[in-house]
Amino acid sequence: MPPLSVKSFAKINLGLLITGKREDGYHTLETIFAPINWYDVIEFSESEVISMSCSNVTLPVDDNNLCIRAAKSLQQFAGIKSGVTMRLHKQVPFGAGLGGGSSDAATVLRVLNELWKVNASSADLHTLAVALGADVPYFLEIKGLAYAKGIGDDLDDLGFTLPYFVVTVFPEEHISTVWAYKNFYPRFDRELPDLKQCASDLCLSGKKEVFPVFENDFEPAVFDHFPAVKLVKSTLLEAGCVFASLSGSGSAVFGLFESEEDALAAMKRLPETYRKSLTPPGFSMEQ
């Protein structure tokens, strides 16, 4: 079998509200996931054992890597000895809040379920995905926008996409999720907006007045500690985007633009050393 090459798309968070903390230490949240046209590529080749290599030599390729963990979890679930060699072409920045590692893990589960002819059910794959990370089920199951609650694994496919050009910028700062959860400023006692309805009002009815609802609770602490990240948001707003925000736990920042011309002009205003992505309106992970 020739190597099979598959794209693993990243995501942004349109709003991320941390709503509480469970007894097991996990935080609960509400968010809107949206896919962007920034992706890793994974090549799958036949092998007798599970192994991988990566274009980024700083990333581990042992059992600490989510791709390896995903492959071994499916192998163990199915009770098989099939192997695979994976080559990860890493393009989505890590420590950016874009879910690159989670997307890669979801791709491995989906592809190997077919290649190994495991035929695991959607429910079984969901269980495996949750064990790998809270964002993994989104990438496994949904192509466009999704509302998520719980620890991020309780998903509702919204069935629509963003009607804007999305400029996503990585300001070359790596922020760990652990750091973000230790340092954010809790607001557990506030009244929560209806994120799902607001997303619908924005994407289906064009109601821009809902934008202030889409806060990211990690943003104040990240901006206090990483001024370069805050400056990216300011630059995008000055360049004419209709909305800008931190994605996930950072450090990537995205801006929504109504015209491609304005989006491209904004990208030119940012340092050349910052990696950037442009996503067209109506984008889904099926493309």
Query: Which of 66, 40, 33, 63 minimizes the C-alpha distance to 132?
Result: 66
42: CB partners within 8 A, 6+ apart: 5, 6, 8, 67, 86, 87, 88, 89, 104, 107, 108, 111
Residue 235 burial (CB count, 10 A): 21
Give yes or no: 153 in active site: no
Distances (CA, A) of 252 to 123, 144, 157, 171: 32, 20, 24, 7
Residue in 104, 135, 153, 217 annotated catalytic: 135
Residue in 11, 90, 230, 276 annotated catalytic: 11
Quick one: tokens of 48?
A: 């007798």
d(CA 48, CA 223): 47
Quick one: tokens of 141?
A: 């199951």
Give yes or no: 224 in active site: no
Active-site annotation, residues: 11, 135
